[in-house]
Chains A and B, each alone.
Chain A
């Protein structure tokens, strides 16, 4: 598939994916990258560069919030993100839209296959 199309698909779904992961537990940036990579079995191939702007945008929009956590020893503090109540509402809306979208596309593709 055209690389640009795949990129757009990932971009369009990344906010929903991040909100979903953060609704399970608070995570820091690189942890999110690793988790997305693991669960998508490398399909997302998410570079850190694509992650941080989305995190900052969600934070500015009040959909997630962050807190700094000191680490033991001389470890550098980490910024953990968790989803807010507004973020959970948004996640529910996005999930519904996504499921509707997938169903619609499946129907269209299935219809094409039956011709």
Chain B
């Protein structure tokens, strides 16, 4: 229950993240003017889903661009992970760093590899690879991808065979979803905010 309109509008701005900035600002200004005198504020998620159903122009991303984005992310995440772990390997033994250095570095390297996709998709809706190729991950209702959705859509990456089977679904499902996109109720779309590469 939101009692403060400014806080409500901030939440609403997050919900409408994938609208072009000028349209989003116009809608928020309209809502601010209208709801200043409202006795109760509607739930931002519910209102956002309804508005996005009319306003968000969704264009599903093709397999090629998605695969390329994944390749870029894979290289970047491995590079960052290695950057954390490499110093441990390079320091000569036996006078090498103690466990207090090794463990945090190794954990950071592993965490980078594991968290790379869910972290970026849940926080900003795009991994660096997707950002470079003008792609975004959104919920089927156009709202931002949640942490839960970001983790679910990453499950097949735990096993190589599952990863491949999962990816093949992009060619068959009408919304060009991987199987675990379907489970997570997410879509990979062309960034609808404009200024991106055309498919």
Binding site for B on A (CB under 8 A): 28-31, 47-50, 52-53, 56-57, 71, 75-79
Contacts and interface: CB of A to CB of B under 8 A. Distances in A.
A1 to B, nearest CB: 23
A28 B32 CA distance: 12
A78 to B, nearest CB: 4
B15 to A, nearest CB: 12
A49 B42 contact: yes
Contacts of A75: 33, 36
Chain A residues touching B, majority SS: helix
Interface residues of B, number: 22
B141 interface: no
Contacts of A77: 29, 33
A48 B34 contact: yes
Q: Is the interface of B mostly helix, strand, loop or mixed?
A: helix
B34 A57 contact: no
10 contacts: A28-B30, A47-B46, A49-B51, A50-B50, A52-B51, A57-B54, A76-B29, A76-B33, A77-B29, A79-B33
B47 A52 contact: yes
Given A48-B47, A76-B29, A53 B54 contact: yes
A80 to B, nearest CB: 10
A48 B51 CA distance: 10
Nearest to A47: B42
A71 to B, nearest CB: 8
B33 A48 contact: no
Contacts of A71: 33
